[in-house]
Chains A and B, each alone.
Chain A
Amino acid sequence: AQSVTQLGSHVSVSEGALVLLRCNYSSSVPPYLFWYVQYPNQGLQLLLKYTSAATLVKGINGFEAEFKKSETSFHLTKPSAHMSDAAEYFCAVTPQGTGGFKTIFGAGTRLFVKA
């Protein structure tokens, strides 16, 4: 069965430091991959998605993620953290050829940004 693992339920960085949030999936066929962000008292918003095109995907707010098939990973990065990046981040996978009802969400990583 497909699964997605986010390493680290909490990540803390200083403002201006690199942000790295890890996501690994298990699937024999590369799925579609998504990163969502959730701010307090809000729903999830799409940051970026990988859909079999370029392996380096750029999203909103300066975030990007690289799909690495050999490592079954889709880690999220941002070169310089801003206070406004403090939120919870979810990695999600959807098997190709299915539908959103087959999407599996990771448990989430809460990002703290220190001044």
Chain B
Amino acid sequence: NAGVTQTPKFRVLKTGQSMTLLCAQDMNHEYMYWYRQDPGMGLRLIHYSVGEGTTAKGEVPDGYNVSRLKKQNFLLGLESAAPSQTSVYFCASSPASSNQPQHFGDGTRLSIL
């Protein structure tokens, strides 16, 4: 019963490097989300997707791109990493209805030097 799986779990990058964070869900959820978690700020939505082939900007989208080529996968890309992007990144998924909770992965801890 995997739920939401994120890879990698940890990564250290140098400023200017690029990378892709992977998220996979096996619950057939329509919606998927990428959040970043910083101390004292709760979770902030970066990008989200309401279905295969669709993406939209969240609260803090600058510096990130996403793709959802398959329903079960949602990728988050950093084209040119900056120290301000040091954070813990969480992927989540949910059914389409607003009364349903989100299911979270265990996070990716990313440090940008």
Contacts and interface: CB of A to CB of B under 8 A. Distances in A.
A105 B104 CA distance: 14
B99 A49 contact: yes
A44 B104 contact: yes
Interface size grouping (class) on chain A: 20 to 34
Given A42-B107, A100-B31, A107 B41 contact: yes
A101 B4 CA distance: 17
10 contacts: A9-B40, A32-B99, A44-B90, A44-B102, A99-B96, A99-B98, A101-B48, A102-B98, A103-B102, A107-B41
Nearest to A101: B48
Interface of B: 4, 31, 33, 40-43, 45, 48, 50, 56, 58, 90, 92, 94, 96-107
A107 B37 CA distance: 10
Contacts of B4: 43
Interface string A58-71: 00000000000000
Contact of B31 (A51, A96, A97, A101): A101
A17 interface: no
Interface in A58-115: 90, 94-103, 105-108
A44 B101 CA distance: 11
B106 A43 contact: yes
Nearest to B95: A100
Interface of A: 9, 32, 34, 36, 41-46, 49, 51-52, 90, 94-103, 105-108
A108 B31 CA distance: 24
Contacts of B98: 32, 94-100, 102
Contact of A43 (B31, B56, B99, B107): B107
B52 to A, nearest CB: 16
Contacts of A45: 104
Contact of A49 (B41, B56, B101): B101
Q: Which of B45, B50, B99, B104 has the most CB of A within 10 A?
A: B99
